[in-house]
Amino acid sequence: MRVAIRVRPGASRTRVGGRYADRLVVAVTARAVDGAATQAALAAVADALGVRPRHVTLVAGATSRDKVVDVDDAVVDDGLRLRLDELLGG
């Protein structure tokens, strides 16, 4: 399952939730230096969806605030889809 995210690096705390256009907002405390914010965002998405970090991989946007991540289809179920909808504010 592909999820479009908008990363906000340098936040005061890590938080996943809300919508920016059609993307899930992921605020992380890490700065956008040497991929630290990207790695923190992947970990935050995994935690928010209740899956292991290894099940969330970056597909596109390594150097952009707008990224696309893939959640391993083996762990995707109706509960995970519902959680994603809740995080998007739906």
Task: Go through the chain and tell me how many residues it has.
Answer: 90
For residues 84 and 17, is the Cβ–Cβ distance under 8 A? no
Q: Give percent of the chain with pLDDT exceeding 90.
A: 98
Reported confidence tier of residue 5, pLDDT bands at 50, 70, 90: very high
Residue partners of 71: CB distance under 8 A and separation at least 6: 1, 2, 3, 45, 49, 51, 55, 56, 80
- Predicted TM-score (pTM) of this structure: 0.95
**Nearest residue to 14 via CA among 35, 31, 2:** 31
